[in-house]
Structure 1
């Protein structure tokens, strides 16, 4: 985990994202991360103490499949002294079906029990409609084929927990637009919300095997 993080941070330093460079190598950033964690390293790179950050750990359930060494590395990066850093907050996202396993985990369990938990219910039909239609309000030159937005909505509402699949489908429709249209023919070729990712993976596999 740290190898990718320190390389990305050093690239940000090298390109001047944080102002004048304060690190001379990836190894130096790696040393700071290992010794002091992410928040302190960011403060060093930005040249000021007491920065306020929200550190986001998405899909925290993935840590359950890591080795003990990998888990400890991630924990040290995020919470080197029992917390993400003064003035900072750690935001963790977690699938509900992993809640029991996380609560039983010796390190993740106390973190979850001592924190504020906000359960997210599946999106309503009106919320899904906004996900599907609102983005195009910022792109007036682009539109759905007649009836397609409603068709996508009906498909999504059959399995509202498949929000990531809906997001993938909408991205594919956008990327494959033609003459300012998100097309029904594209939607049908992808076999709808549930089939879009499978269709994409099959194409990728065919390209790999020739």
Structure 2
């Protein structure tokens, strides 16, 4: 557009175009469709993947935990009696307590009791082959979620914890959860990070659209 106005030698219109240029602070976050989400949940709870991989994927999908927090999760962080997980977030240093839902607790307990290597490392999630240490980086968590999505038969190009975190935030937002609560659940240090997810709530955004003036409505029907 600017090149065309320059060709017309209309500097005045170029200035107006510059004034009308709105800054884009956030993109629209990708999320899972409802069907894909249910498919992944069924794969995680139905035994299609190893208990460790299922627990990691379900935790990321339901709670929105970051990959770094999944890697750092310790056995002592799980309160089985109270059905909660309490951590200090790696990114912000803030404490965070999350509910441990029964479906996730079942797969997590199955992993700890039957799959997890019996070693002196108190990280919850360990490598399944020697040396049985905690995961070294985010790519290991990505590989886990990718295997779960593959077993579920879900065709999604980006299946890391970032996508699952976006999905958790979007689900809470569409359920009418207040932004401060979502911010607390996701462990955001400030409200700006949570506000970015407003772009994913298409249903409520449609309710904010103003109706067309009568003259334009008549023109639209021609």
**TM-score interval w.r.t. the shorter chain?**
under 0.3
Q: Which has the higher contact order (CA 8 A, sep 6+)?
A: 2
Instruction: Give the TM-score normalised by structure 2.
Output: 0.21
Instruction: Give the TM-score normalised by structure 1.
Output: 0.21
Question: Rg larger in 1 or in 2?
Answer: 2
